[in-house]
């Protein structure tokens, strides 16, 4: 299904959940939500959960059923809600328009608009290619059920499906993305920093030639490539689940509190900083963290019960922000190496550079440049008018100089080449500066 991504195939050995769904509102810019699962016997009341979400600045939530107590508790909260259509109801909704209308009437219209229901996913687990029996079932049930739910939702609630979607369905694509499972199964070839959004030299995909600095982005682009191969180039993608467990069995490599905090904290920063993936750089992401609570009745390995951001008593499993305001003082506390000191990005020859990401946009580049040359203490004298590195006189070139000056001053420590998503690390001398004196100052 993922044509032309040979180099990614091993790295993308991850279980994904594909969902065509009805979107009734689209976020502007990156957005963070959370999955509210309830497979547990010790969780707080729905009313307390709503207060918890509001206290943390979380304004999007996905629930796995249409429990009246939950939907009523969310009424008037301003929190946008995604309500699942359970798998066992797919065939009925696909075959019988009256069933779809009835389900929407009882589970959406009865609560909207006081409860801000914005999406109705039609879910079915699938890791199949388009020719397998499961994929055939996917086409048989998912596409028809979306066709039923769109007019049902619009007619019964007055909502409009605004997303650009596959023909005749009015739907978008939601996927579950779990770098943890890929890392756990392939820790010998997948660097942990690459899986946790930490600074790293990146991985060049052999199919599209793009350099990836996170497994998360690479996995999403694998889906974009698959959709493009199926001629669905304009289908928006939303990450309906992603997370990292804070505890696991002895054979579940990487399942620790430290790694869970790093993954989710860096993910929030990556999403709220805006921008898309290397393949679709302008497609801002909406991402739902999995999950709100540790759920003690889930079956399977220990990790299944430890994906939560909070314990049932509402205390944080680890401290990460969920809003842009909270990110201002946030830094991933990367564990120090045994020899002491800060972790540093290194390659075979030991040289790395921090350069500006042009597609980040002028505002982010300028803000990063101002910080590096001001509070950051970078040496920006060489890029002043008349100085040796003033040319090329472009914002991107000057930002690259300032970013790298700051990065090298900080000893190439993790977290020092970010600048709100406006910078990234390279392990080869930046080719665009090969003919400029600027190169002499890059390392």
> Smallest Cα–Cα separation from 441: which of 405, 398, 393?
405
Distance CA 337, CA 326 (A): 28
Is 199 designated active site? no
Compute the 3-state secondary structure of the chain and give helix, strand, coil in percent, each to the nearest 5. Answer: 35, 15, 50
Q: What is the DSSP letter of 28?
A: S
Strand partners, 356: 423
CA distance 114 to 116: 6
Burial class (CB in 10 A: 0-12, 13-18, 19+), 61: buried
Q: Which residue of the set 184, 241, 252, 396 is catalytic? A: 241
Is 241 noted as a catalytic residue in this protein?
yes
Q: What token pair was written down for 43? A: 């969780």
Residue 172: enclosing H or E segment and its boundaries? strand 171-176
Catalytic residue among 118, 252, 295, 396: 118
- 3-state SS class at 218: helix
Residue written as tokens 């921008």?
275
Is the CA virtual torsion 425, 430, 433, 436 positive or negative? Answer: positive
Active-site positions? 118, 241
């Amino acid at each position: 299904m993922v044509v032309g991504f040979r180099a990614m195939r091993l790295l993308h050995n991850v279980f994904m959940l594909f969902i065509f769904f009805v979107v009734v509102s689209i976020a502007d810019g990156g957005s963070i939500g959370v999955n509210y699962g309830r497979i547990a016997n010790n969780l707080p009341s729905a009313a307390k959960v709503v207060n918890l979400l509001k206290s943390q600045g979380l304004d999007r939530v996905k629930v796995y059923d249409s429990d009246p107590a939950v939907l009523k508790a969310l009424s008037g909260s301003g929190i946008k809600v995604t309500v699942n259509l359970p798998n066992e109801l797919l065939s009925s909704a696909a075959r019988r328009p009256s069933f779809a209308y009835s389900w929407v009437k009882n589970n959406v219209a009865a609560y909207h608009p006081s409860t801000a229901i914005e999406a109705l996913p039609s879910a079915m687990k699938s890791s199949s290619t388009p020719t397998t029996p499961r994929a055939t079932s996917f086409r048989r049930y998912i596409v028809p059920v979306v066709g039923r739910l769109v007019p049902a939702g619009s007619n019964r609630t007055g909502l409009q499906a605004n997303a650009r979607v596959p023909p005749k369905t009015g739907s978008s694509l939601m996927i579950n993305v779990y770098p943890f499972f890929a890392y756990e199964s392939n820790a010998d070839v997948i660097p942990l920093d690459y899986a946790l959004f930490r600074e790293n030299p990146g991985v060049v995909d052999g199919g599209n030639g793009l350099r990836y600095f996170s497994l998360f982005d690479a996995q999403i682009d694998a889906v974009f490539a698959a959709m493009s191969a199926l001629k669905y180039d304009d289908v928006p993608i939303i990450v309906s689940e992603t997370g990292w467990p804070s505890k696991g069995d002895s054979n579940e490599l990487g399942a620790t509190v430290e790694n869970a905090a790093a993954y989710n904290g860096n993910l929030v920063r990556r999403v709220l900083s805006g921008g898309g993936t290397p393949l679709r750089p302008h497609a801002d992401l909406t991402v739902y963290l999995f999950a709100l609570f540790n759920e003690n009745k889930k079956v399977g390995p220990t990790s299944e019960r430890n994906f939560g951001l909070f314990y049932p008593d509402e205390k944080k499993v680890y401290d990460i922000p969920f809003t842009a305001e909270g990110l201002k003082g946030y830094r991933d506390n990367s564990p120090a190496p045994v020899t002491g000191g800060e972790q540093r990005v290194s390659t075979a020859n030991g040289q790395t550079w921090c350069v500006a990401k042009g597609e980040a946009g002028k505002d982010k580049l300028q803000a990063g440049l101002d910080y590096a040359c001001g509070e950051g203490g970078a040496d920006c004298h060489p890029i002043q008018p008349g100085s040796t590195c003033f040319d090329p006189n472009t914002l991107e070139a000057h930002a690259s100089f300032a970013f790298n000056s700051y990065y090298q001053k900080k000893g190439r420590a993790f977290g020092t080449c970010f600048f709100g998503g406006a910078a990234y690390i390279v392990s080869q001398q930046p080719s665009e500066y090969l003919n400029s004196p600027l190169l002499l100052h890059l390392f």
